Amino acid sequence: MIHNKPLIFGALVTVLLTILAAFLPEHRSELITRMLIMALFATSINMQVGRAGMMPLGQAQFFGLGAYAFGLLCVKGGLPLSYSFLLALLISLVAIAIIGYLCLRGDSLTFALLHLAFNILLVTVAAKWISLTEGDQGFTKVPRLDLFPGNFGFYLFVLLVVLGCYILIWMIVNSPFGKVMQGLRENEERIRFLGIYSKRFQLVIFVFSSLFAAVAGILWAMMQKSVFITYMSLILSAEGLMMCLIGGMSSFFGPSIGAAIVVVVSTLASTYLEQWQGLLGLIIIVCVLGFRGGILGGKRGTMGL
Amino acid sequence: MKGTGQVILSTVNISKDFGSLRAVDRVDLQIEEGEVRAIIGPNGAGKSTLLDIVTNRSHPTSGRSYFRGSDITHLPSYAIAALGVGRCFQISKLFAGLSVFENVQIACISKAGKVYDIFSGGDRVFESEVNGILEAIGLKAMAEAEAGYLSYGDQRRLEIGITLAMKPSLLLLDEPTAGVSRAEGHDLMRLVKSLAVDQNLTIVFIEHDMDMVFKYADKISVMHLGRLMTTGTPDEIRRNAMVRAVYLGEQVA
């Protein structure tokens, strides 16, 4: 019974979004695609924050890493798209494993700060290694994987990839592994005294979560047909956490709702308001103080989503 | 029951310094399989620190510890737990935001080696094992309650349940009856004692309540100022003049 509710919710939202994407004018339908990708990014963060009690302050580094790896492989490397996609994931995986291993050397505060530090480091590399990345200018002509033709076709492609990722994440958080993730969030020492090597367990969570962020980054590069330094900015890292906070970290779909709100507000408000990030801050304050645990909040996701 | 003569846990010349303070001083402790051992001593005698060292929550300054003859001095806590050493803390360490059921379930998942299983459904996994344990610790009716909202005594029970799910051969309890009503304390100790008998579990418990100690322990070790003063049966300890002076004397007089 508990399981049906999110399933129905997910199906309804998918249908609704697809109708919107099909019938909205082009410059608006892209908004739907943005929402989907950011929702995946936010959900990847929440695997750590809401489920496992880890605080990845620099998640955009892996979003950006995916985007750069993919963009460079196909634009500068001239590789076919599907190879670029897979190879970008592989490169991300290696980097994620190394960064994760190093971030998990200390306690949870050390983890959060090292995570942020690696984000700063990667941004600096991307900005200064101009011969490779074009620095602050970024580079364009990143191709889309044209599984289906046209803009709506690209929406469908993104939808398929994001749905696939959601199904995987859903499996992970609802498996025995997912139970232990919750235990980790509640009491790491008890986890250790149950015979579990908690650092290694955290590393596995870290790899899953960061890989999904990399997938989101690759999709984003395709959508924008370009790669910019902002894809791994600290602001994006912070926005991702805000999405989780606004939507509710204790529920599966909360961060996605948060992502949709942030995307809509930032896109619409930025055309009218110069300081849209101020508005975003206001929304967070209202959500945190007004909803107690986000829009879909409640201590254990009272809405069951 | 009394020990079988097989030593399950031993420490050799274990010491622990906190700066200039010697919290544990050259302790040689030997626990035999199947016995219920109480460790008593005034506050600051080094009892909890000794358990911390054995489970490597804290590293000894010198000395070694052995479980079933193999050296566990430098094994990490999770590896010692996996060998079959269960630990309950002075302040219960639970998954406070999860249900009673889930608390025990996570332990069952670990015991079965399913920690990295992402393919099966997790919600009702190990349901019958969990229910069996909840039955044994008398928390079946509370299965869906949030662990953090349980009474103090029930939290103790739950922690014992979580530890039992790991099927340990040695259970270390730090003041199991502290902060619990007298009746509840006796219930808890009866539970612990029956486990020792039924599952051939070896139990080491730290306790301040002398009623509990003399009633439920097979053997008693007395610590004072970091040193292990003596070990004996409840009768021997009751008669020991030195013990009466430094410890029981303070309590009775």
Q: Which of B79, B86, B105 sits opposite A179 (nearest CB)?
A: B105
Backbone angles phi, psi at B195, to 5 degrees: -65, -40
> If you average pLDDT over residues B125-133, what whole number do you get?
94
Give yes or no for a contact between A142 and A221, defined as CB atoms under 8 angstroms apart.
yes
What pLDDT, on a 0 to 100 scale, did the predictor assign at position A301? 46
Backbone angles phi, psi at B21, to 5 degrees: -90, 125
> If you average pLDDT over residues B107-113, what whole number do you get?
95
How far is A153 from B246, CA to CA, in rounded Å? Answer: 83
CA distance A168 to chain B (A): 9
Residue owning tokens 């021997």: B236
Within 8 A of A191 by CB-CB distance, chain B residues are 106
Please give the ipTM for the structure prediction: 0.89
How many other β-carbons are positioned within 10 Å of the β-carbon of residue B21?
A: 9
What pLDDT, on a 0 to 100 scale, did the predictor assign at position A298? 58
- Tell me the residues of chain A between 135 and 174 that have a Cβ less than 8 Å away from chain B: 171-172, 174
Signed CA dihedral, B42, B46, B51, B54: sign only: negative
What pLDDT, on a 0 to 100 scale, did the predictor assign at position A304? 54
Q: Which of A179, A196, A299 sits opposite B122 (nearest CB)?
A: A179
- Tell me the residues of chain A between 46 and 75 that have a Cβ less than 8 Å away from chain B: none
How far is A80 from A58, CA to CA, in rounded Å? Answer: 30
Half-sphere exposure in the Cβ direction for A60 (13 Å, CA): 24
Contact between A196 and B79 using a beta-carbon 8 Å cutoff: no
Q: Give the CA angle between residues B59, B37, B76 to the nearest 5°.
A: 25
Element (H, E) at A110: helix A108-128
A293 touches chain B (CB under 8 A): no
User: What predicted TM-score, i.e. pTM, was given to this entire model?
Assistant: 0.91
Within 8 A of A3 by CB-CB distance, chain B residues are 123
Within 8 A of A179 by CB-CB distance, chain B residues are 102, 105-106, 109, 122, 125
CA-based nearest residue in chain A for residue B106: A180
CA distance A56 to chain B (A): 21
**What's chain B's average pLDDT?**
90
Within 8 A of A198 by CB-CB distance, chain B residues are 78
Contact between B78 and A193 using a beta-carbon 8 Å cutoff: yes
Domains and CATH numbers, chain B: 1-84+169-253 (3.40.50.300), 96-167 (no CATH)
Within 8 A of B115 by CB-CB distance, chain A residues are 176-177, 180, 196, 201
Number of continuous H segments (helices) and E segments (strands) in chain A: 14, 2
Within 8 A of B117 by CB-CB distance, chain A residues are 175-177
Element (H, E) at A53: none
A238 touches chain B (CB under 8 A): no
A192 touches chain B (CB under 8 A): yes
> If you average pLDDT over residues B191-216, what whole number do you get?
89
CA distance B60 to chain A (A): 18
Q: Which of B78, B121, B125 sits opposite A195 (nearest CB)?
A: B78
Contact between B106 and A201 using a beta-carbon 8 Å cutoff: no
B174: left (phi over 0), alpha (psi -120 to 50) or beta: beta
Within 8 A of A192 by CB-CB distance, chain B residues are 76-78, 81
Contact between A182 and B102 using a beta-carbon 8 Å cutoff: yes
B238, pLDDT greater than 90: no
Contact between B96 and A187 using a beta-carbon 8 Å cutoff: yes
CA distance B148 to chain A (A): 10
Contact between A193 and B118 using a beta-carbon 8 Å cutoff: no
Q: Which of B78, B97, B118 sits opposite A177 (nearest CB)?
A: B118
> Comparing C-alpha atoms, which of B137, B127, B193, B188 is closest to residue B161?
B137
Indicate the SS3 state at residue A185.
Answer: helix
> If you average pLDDT over residues B123-128, what whole number do you get?
91
Backbone angles phi, psi at B30, to 5 degrees: -130, 125
B216, pLDDT greater than 50: yes
Q: Give the CA angle between residues B118, B121, B122 to the nearest 5°.
A: 85
What pLDDT, on a 0 to 100 scale, did the predictor assign at position A227? 94
Burial class of B77 by CB neighbour count within 10 A (0 to 12, 13 to 18, 19+): buried
Contact between A194 and B121 using a beta-carbon 8 Å cutoff: no
Contact between A192 and B79 using a beta-carbon 8 Å cutoff: no
For chain A, 305 residues long, the average pLDDT of each consecutive 10-residue run is 73 90 83 94 96 96 97 91 94 97 95 97 92 85 85 91 95 95 95 96 98 97 93 94 90 92 83 73 80 67 51
How far is A14 from A272, CA to CA, in rounded Å? Answer: 29
A250 touches chain B (CB under 8 A): no
What pLDDT, on a 0 to 100 scale, did the predictor assign at position B248? 58
